[in-house]
Structure 1
């Protein structure tokens, strides 16, 4: 059989050359991973559109959100779509992880892919948290402060807190770091893990052992 690279295996998993009829049956775990990937792509598209209006400054962040929702046709819908998609993404990842745990699909030879999936869930939670500060309203500020206080209670958490908030919650540099993490660093990291996750599914002969 022709061997493919990482990207080739990812594409082949999304567009298989043949699918058994039994794999198309609708069950309670039907395509949770695929649904999560679809929502992730929706988050990328809606996030890119939001970039055209958002201002990552302490003075302009909240006003740019107001402008988007009140002056831009469909702006309120776009922001709501991005927010709801982020919630759905976390729910799907959690349910997918729970299914893997309950069915024992983390056992050898799939233990590496279980760790990749768990790391993906952690990054998704962190990405959602960094996005919470971006509107710079009262809810965002209080939620970020609560999260940072919890972070400071774990070993090494103070160092992470000082890196994320060099000038305090609501500071210009802190907002910029949350913004960079939310739109560049974490999405790229998740994208790499998603490709690697699907690659390992095929390498480990997961749900499609005949491919």
Structure 2
């Protein structure tokens, strides 16, 4: 699977006509690039971030004001997050409009799971700064979760105490930096593998 992933990124042969710029050029690849930027900037932020309700906000201020390049790294993480979600949405939209999902239903399902996980990852990260905007946005999102099937069960797992409470914050943090990125990475590798397996849809070898 890893070999097929590398081949997808670095094909042996590409048709000349497929090198021209188009408005849907490499939306999937650009999405994955944004994800890599998220991982790199997130790791750097995690070095200084403290997932504790009384210290989380101060650790963010410390990163921005006292860490060399800290403000740039945080803004890069935020920009990459927005870019990732937008590119993922556009990629899914292109697949719908071109009808490509009809011949690749298995990969289409994987792609939808990736989109859902990406949105959920963004949601879990929104609470981490622990400012007023983060609190109320997370509170609103939590109320929306309750209306989903098994919503109350999911809510109780994610928020065992209160929004922004100690257990809630550490669970959001764990989901955001470990569980969800691992799931996205795994599904991305499978997604690229399936694209390579369906060689008929590729403009390269």
Normalised by the size of structure 1, how large is the TM-score?
0.95
2:108 aligned residue: 114
Alignment of structure 1 residues 1-211 onto 2, 5 Å:
6-108=1-103, 110-205=104-199, 207-208=201-202, 211=205
Deviation (angstroms), 1:152: 1.0
Q: What's the offset of the Cα at 1:132?
A: 0.2
Alpha-carbon separation, structure 1, partners of 2:150 and 2:23:
40
Unaligned runs of 5+ residues in structure 2 are: none
Secondary structure of the 1:106 match is helix
Q: 1:143 to 1:210 in 2, by over 3 A?
A: closer
Q: 1:7, 1:74 → 2: CA distance?
A: 33
User: Which of the two has greater helix per residue?
Assistant: 2
How far does the alpha carbon of each residue in 1:111-155 deviate from its partner, in whole angstroms, 9 at most, with x for none? 100111110000000000000000011111101100011111222
For the residues of structure 2 that align with 1:207 and 1:23, how far apart are their CA atoms? 13
Q: Gaps spanning 5+ residues in structure 1: where?
A: 1-5
